[in-house]
Copies of this chain bind each other. A is one copy, B any other.
Amino acid sequence: MLESAEILGLIAAACTTSSFVPQVYKTWKTRNVAGISLIMYFVLFIGVVLWLLYGIVINSLSVILANSITGLLVLIILILRIRYGLQHRK
């Protein structure tokens, strides 16, 4: 059985990870990326990959799970930001 600390971690992970889903949806739908910082998503992606490595090293299920999915979602937003950002400039 999971410890209560790990349950708290998993709920936290579920929140921070799922939070990026509405941003993916919104950006996908509206293609409006003018207000979104490219540098934020670039640095965030590097950070999330490092958190994933940290999770593997300390063997924390919450950290590994959260950062695998978050990394994917942040990467999607980063790609959409670059793609629609370039279209916007044309």
Contact = CB atoms under 8 A, between A and B. Distances in A.
Contacts of A58: 5, 9
Contact of A16 (B18, B22, B39, B48): B48
Given A13-B51, A25-B37, 20 more contacts: A4-B57, A8-B54, A9-B54, A12-B48, A13-B47, A14-B47, A16-B48, A19-B40, A19-B41, A19-B42, A19-B43, A19-B44, A20-B44, A23-B36, A23-B37, A27-B37, A30-B35, A32-B34, A32-B35, A34-B34
Interface of A: 4-5, 8-9, 11-23, 25-27, 30, 32-37, 39-44, 46-48, 50-51, 53-54, 57-58, 62
